[in-house]
């Protein structure tokens, strides 16, 4: 259940950004979560609903964009994307020489404020 600390972290970032820029309320927070980040979207949404109460994000909606795990194989020189949360060999040629390019994201991307 570390989704609670993740939800707390993203709320702090959003509230901080909102206040610094002189806005009063947050309507929407968009986050990008990589599939290999270990975060369970449903748990994150639940934690967010609990933690936002009493803050300037009380009426905010959280939307989560899931980013799949993708990489580049240095043997077959091709990009690949997988369904799983990890890669142990290139899904195209089976080589183990590859680099992971996406899937570990845990970012607040943008928000709508008023």
Partner 1 sequence: MKVKVVTNILEANDRIAAENKKIFDEADVYVMNIMSGPGAGKTSLLERTIKEFSGRIKIGVIEGDIAGTDDAQRIEKLGVPVIQINTGGGCHLDANMIREVTDDLPLKDLDLLIIENVGNLVCPAEFKLGEDMKVMLLSIAEGHDKPLKYPLMFQESSALILNKIDLLPYTNVDLEKIRKDSLSLNPKLKIFEVSCKTGQGIQEWTNWVQTLVK
Nearer to partner 1, 13 or 45 (CB): 13
**Contact residues for partner 1, defined by CB under 8 A:** 1-2, 5-6, 9-10, 12-14, 17-18, 21, 23, 31, 36-38, 85-86, 88-89, 96, 106-114
Across the chain, the runs of DSSP E, i.e. the strands, are 26-34, 61-67, 69-73, 79-82, 98-102, 106-113
Nearer to partner 1, 20 or 77 (CB): 20
What is the number of residues in the chain? 114
Nearest to 59 by CA among 90, 34, 27: 27
Q: Are 60 and 26 in contact (CB under 8 A)?
A: yes
Compute the least distance from the CB of residue 19 to partner 1, in Å. 12
Compute the least distance from the CB of residue 78 to partner 1, in Å. 19
Going from the C-alpha of 3 to that of each of 22, 40, 53, 114, the distances in angstroms are 28, 7, 17, 27
Compute the least distance from the CB of residue 111 to partner 1, in Å. 5
Nearer to partner 1, 79 or 89 (CB): 89
Compute the least distance from the CB of residue 77 to partner 1, in Å. 20
């Amino acid at each position: 259940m570390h989704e609670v600390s993740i939800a707390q972290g993203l709320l702090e970032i959003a509230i901080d950004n909102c206040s610094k820029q002189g806005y009063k309320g947050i309507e929407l927070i968009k986050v990008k979560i990589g599939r290999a980040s270990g975060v369970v979207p449903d748990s994150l949404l639940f934690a967010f609903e609990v933690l936002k109460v009493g803050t300037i994000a009380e009426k905010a909606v959280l939307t989560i964009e899931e980013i799949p795990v993708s990489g580049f194989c240095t043997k077959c020189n091709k990009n690949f994307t997988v369904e799983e949360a990890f890669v142990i060999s290139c899904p195209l040629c089976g080589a183990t020489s590859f680099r992971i390019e996406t899937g570990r994201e845990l970012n607040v991307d943008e928000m709508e404020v008023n």
